[in-house]
Amino acid sequence: MSFNELLEKLAATAMDVDAAQNWPTQQFDWLAESGVLGWVIPEEYGGQPVSESECVTGYERLATACLTTCFALTQRNGACQRIVGSSNEEIKAELLPRLASGESFATVGISHLTTSRQHIAKPMVRVEQRGDHFILNGMIPWVTGAIAADHIVTGGTCDDGLQVLIAMPCDLDGISIHPKVELMSLTAAETTSIDLKNVRIPKKYLLAGPVEGVMSQGVGGGAGSLTTSTLALGVSARSLALIQEEAESRPNLKENVSAFQHDVESLREDIGKASLGIASDEPQLSATMIRQRSNSLALRITQAALTITKGAGFMKGHAAELAVREAMFFLVWSCPQPVVQGVLSELACRDGF
């Protein structure tokens, strides 16, 4: 299946995915058929790798077509990237070929090491080393696609404060996956929490550590990375198309729609530059600034789409109401503190906003 065919199919089923609130199995089959599942996996393991900048462009278009599928893909790709970036050759050879073909699925449960529960002193997941096993106890607060996963890339903290990152097999004793949580949007991505009770994981599944701040090691895109901004841009681009269509027969909308078009294009250009590593010393192109702008644009343009489509857009199942609900996700997903501060300053109309 070509990438354009994939996008058409995803866009045509996006509303149904949102309404049915079930894991997008069919959509992941299409991702496999079109080679997208190979994007972040090296050729030697059966992948079809693309550059970071191609990946960013691809994510934008996928998020425009169906945010739920694209978001679930990014969590799966995050897991794959952490496995690829590890020096554990045995685990790479064992897991990556089946991940590349779509025969197996992995996801991440790492927010408790980055952006979730950071105000709580006690680690969410405690790790003990016993012989050739790690013993995990605690709770992973957020895991997207948990029900579909064969492995979850997750981590925890040892008594000495050092952290480990592990590709945890999901069929081990002591793992309890809670039912999915109903969310404002993206419920179909099956996000939930997982309890861990004396889970014994063979050490061969270790990806990184024990080390201080294991999430700041290696690759995979940290909290608030360019990927998160790209998905917000994808939702904005979809809303832009919607308001442009409305403006065709409503000349009084044209000026505001042009302003939004300019915003979308300039953000796309800057995300493109950042993904190529161009002018990385320009503050405008820092991951934090780009994420703040992406959040701001997604919030403004989706609400503009609602304003323009009026009561019809407020009805369940309209593209405008879906986009408004989806935009809210970027206020809470993978937002490091500087991004949160920037968003709050804008909402409070402070600091030059």
Ligand X SMILES: Cc1cc2nc3c(=O)[nH]c(=O)nc-3n(C[C@H](O)[C@H](O)[C@H](O)COP(=O)(O)OP(=O)(O)OC[C@H]3O[C@@H](n4cnc5c(N)ncnc54)[C@H](O)[C@@H]3O)c2cc1C
Binder of ligand X out of 143, 165, 242, 304 (CB under 6 A): 143
Binding mask 87-126 for ligand X (x = CB under 6 A): --------------------xxxxx---xxxxx-------
The number of residues in the chain equals: 353
Distances (CA, A) of 301 to 250, 343, 347: 17, 15, 15
* Binding flag, residue 144, ligand X (CB under 6 A): yes
Q: Which of 259, 276, 332, 344 binds ligand X (CB under 6 A)?
A: 332
Nearest distance, CB of residue 143 and ligand X, angstroms: 5
Among 334, 342, 343, 346, contact with ligand X (rule: CB under 6 A): 334
* Cβ count within 10 A of residue 90: 9
Tell me how far apart the alpha carbons of residues 171 and 93 are, in angstroms, rounded to a whole number: 20
Is 299 in a helix, a strand, or coil?
Answer: helix
Contact in structure between 230 and 52 (CB atoms under 8 Å): no
H/E run at residue 109: strand 106-109
Task: For residue 338, state whether it binds ligand X (rule: CB under 6 A).
Answer: no
Span interacting with ligand X, options 135-143, 198-206, 211-219, 290-298, rule CB under 6 A? 135-143
Number of chain residues interacting with ligand X (CB under 6 A): 21
Q: How far is CA 132 from CA 154, 201, 202, in A?
A: 18, 9, 6
For the CB of residue 35, give the shortest distance to ligand X in the complex, in Å: 23
Instruction: Establish if 134 lies at the interface with ligand X (CB under 6 A).
Output: no
Instruction: Report, in Å, the least distance between residue 235 CB and ligand X.
Output: 14
* CB of 120 or CB of 251, closer to ligand X: 120
Nearest Cα neighbor of 181 from 170, 190, 168, 171 is: 190
Residues at the site binding ligand X, with contacts judged by CB under 6 A:
75, 107-111, 115-119, 141-144, 183, 186, 191, 332-334
